[in-house]
């Protein structure tokens, strides 16, 4: 426990606030002289390479050139700041809410939810059954726990961020409810996080702070996705349902403000996190509008086939390279002469993830981890290097 933790609970108004980690860390970590454990988690997250790559991963639209259109990095910052606001007003642990918000989408693949589906198809069609045993289904929140536990790195440190149990629980449990959920009650604290393989098994977060993030996640992207779609000229302001503008406001700031105020009112001095029936109905309307008019629009899905081809072909070629070189034990110095993606895969296998994979791990798992960590831009650049002729002179 950090030397800065306050054991008398005077920092938190709510008696249900998570004062300290329920189950600590996977490995001991020397106490910090001035930060709480959850503050340290937030800092370990933002200094990790996996977090920094979110700036070039899709939120809705592939690598936008318009700086005002969101990337996955923008989304997690929106969620984190909003969750911290609600946690403060409810007397909960702001540091824990912030850390979960920052890391909740760290398991996303390139090309957003579509990329998630492409990797799922790879798992389902793989000829190696061991891959499916380890990752039965690629769901970003389940995979997110794998990222922070085994793959994400602080610069020049061994893989794994060694976060507190409560933040890890918040990551793996931030998805799953249907679109009409109004109330989130903390789940049992007896969860075995490492044994969870599906969204259903993850259940609700075990902390109120985690429940705050889970609800705010949807609020944060619904309004911003409308703003982004207007900027991308996929929809016009006039197409937004009148009830949304009338009840929530004309811009994302107003929309989020109304929702957060409602959550605070509905959850104050309660042992759960809730939203009113009226606001829940509006949130549902927004989600359905976005689904029909934005997420499945011709422009949003215009390059879906190309993105799928990029991911699947990269997987095949990189797997072949890994197997041919016996995990780069027999590369005979030819890596330096090849495309950059081979060099970076070599660094990933032989240096970044040294001693993380053992002989029982399938080669397919290594390549899936490598591709899942790619940004959209690196995936496209790698595809161009491998499949498009380059100038020779």
Whether this model's pTM surpasses 0.85? yes
Q: Looking at the structure, do residues 259 and 163 belong to the same domain, yes or no?
A: yes
* Length of the chain in terms of residues written: 393
Say how many domains are in the chain: 2
Q: Looking at the structure, do residues 268 and 311 belong to the same domain, yes or no?
A: no
In a domain, 376, yes or no: yes
In a domain, 15, yes or no: no
Q: Looking at the structure, do residues 268 and 344 belong to the same domain, yes or no?
A: no
CA distance 341 to 390: 14
In a domain, 20, yes or no: no
Confidence at residue 5, expressed as pLDDT on a 0 to 100 scale: 61
Which residues fall within 8 angstroms of residue 244, CB to CB, at 6 or more apart? 226, 255, 282, 285, 286, 289
Q: Which structure tokens are listed for 111? A: 């090309």
Angle, CA 126 vertex, CA 125 and CA 132 arms, to 5°: 100
Q: Looking at the structure, do residues 175 and 276 belong to the same domain, yes or no?
A: yes
Q: Looking at the structure, do residues 274 and 223 belong to the same domain, yes or no?
A: yes
Task: Spell out the per-residue pLDDT of the chain, length 393, in tens.
Answer: 665 565 544 466 789 999 999 999 999 998 888 899 999 999 999 999 999 999 999 888 887 777 778 899 999 999 999 999 999 999 999 999 999 999 999 999 999 999 999 999 999 999 999 999 999 999 999 999 999 999 999 988 899 999 999 999 999 999 976 777 899 999 988 899 999 999 989 999 999 999 999 999 999 999 999 999 998 889 999 999 999 989 999 889 999 999 999 999 999 999 999 999 999 999 999 999 999 999 988 877 888 999 999 999 999 999 999 999 999 988 766 787 789 999 999 999 999 999 899 999 999 999 999 999 999 999 999 999 999 987 777
Q: Looking at the structure, do residues 215 and 283 belong to the same domain, yes or no?
A: yes
Considering just the CA atoms, what is the radius of gyration of the chain in Å? 22
Q: Looking at the structure, do residues 314 and 349 belong to the same domain, yes or no?
A: yes
Q: Looking at the structure, do residues 242 and 224 belong to the same domain, yes or no?
A: yes
In a domain, 145, yes or no: no
Domain range spanning residue 256?
37-106+152-295
Pick the last residue of a domain from 261, 276, 295: 295
Q: Looking at the structure, do residues 75 and 157 belong to the same domain, yes or no?
A: yes
Please classify residue 298 by burial: count the beta carbons closer than 10 Å to its beta carbon, then call 0-12 exposed, 13-18 middle and 19+ buried. Answer: exposed
Q: Looking at the structure, do residues 81 and 185 belong to the same domain, yes or no?
A: yes
- Residue labelled with tokens 């306050």: 6
In a domain, 231, yes or no: yes
Pick the last residue of a domain from 295, 316, 333: 295
How far, rounded to the nearest angstrom, does the alpha carbon of residue 150 sit from its chain's CA centroid? 15
Confidence at residue 334, expressed as pLDDT on a 0 to 100 scale: 73
Pick the last residue of a domain from 295, 317, 348: 295
Q: Looking at the structure, do residues 97 and 199 belong to the same domain, yes or no?
A: yes
In a domain, 121, yes or no: no
In a domain, 181, yes or no: yes
């Amino acid at each position: 426990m950090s030397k800065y933790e306050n054991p008398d609970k005077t920092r938190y108004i709510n008696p249900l606030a998570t004062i300290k980690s329920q189950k600590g860390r996977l490995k001991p970590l020397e106490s910090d002289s001035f930060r709480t454990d959850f503050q340290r988690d937030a800092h370990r997250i933002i200094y990790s390479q996996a977090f920094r790559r979110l700036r070039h991963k899709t939120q809705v639209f592939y690598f936008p050139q318009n700086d005002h259109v969101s990337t996955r990095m923008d989304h997690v910052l929106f969620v984190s700041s909003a969750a911290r606001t609600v946690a403060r007003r409810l007397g909960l642990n702001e540091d824990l809410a912030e850390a979960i918000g920052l890391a909740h989408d760290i398991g996303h693949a390139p090309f957003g939810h579509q990329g998630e589906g492409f990797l799922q198809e790879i798992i389902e069609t793989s000829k190696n059954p061991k891959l499916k045993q380890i990752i039965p289904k690629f769901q970003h929140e389940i995979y997110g726990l794998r990222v922070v536990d085994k793959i994400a790195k602080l610069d020049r440190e061994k893989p794994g961020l060694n976060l507190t149990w409560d933040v890890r629980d918040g990551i793996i449990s931030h998805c799953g409810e249907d679109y009409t959920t109004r109330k989130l009650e903390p789940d049992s604290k007896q969860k075995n996080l490492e044994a969870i393989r599906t969204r259903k098994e993850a259940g609700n977060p075990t902390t109120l702070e985690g429940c705050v993030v889970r609800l705010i996640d949807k609020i944060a992207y619904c309004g911003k996705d409308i703003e982004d779609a207007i900027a991308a000229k996929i929809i016009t302001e006039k197409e937004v349902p009148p009830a949304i503008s009338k009840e929530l406001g004309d811009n994302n700031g107003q929309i989020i403000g109304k929702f957060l105020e409602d959550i605070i009112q509905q959850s104050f001095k309660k042992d759960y996190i809730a939203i009113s029936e009226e606001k829940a109905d509006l949130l549902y309307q927004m989600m359905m509008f976005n689904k029909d008019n934005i997420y499945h629009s011709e422009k949003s899905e215009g390059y879906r086939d190309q993105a799928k081809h990029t991911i699947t072909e990269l997987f095949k070629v990189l797997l072949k390279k890994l197997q041919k070189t016996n995990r780069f034990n027999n590369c005979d110095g030819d890596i330096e002469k090849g495309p950059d993606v081979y060099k970076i895969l070599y660094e990933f296998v032989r240096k970044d993830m040294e001693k993380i994979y053992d002989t029982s791990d399938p080669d397919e798992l290594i390549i899936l981890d490598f591709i899942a960590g790619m940004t959209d831009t690196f995936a496209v650049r790698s595809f161009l290097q491998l499949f498009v002729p380059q100038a020779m002179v």
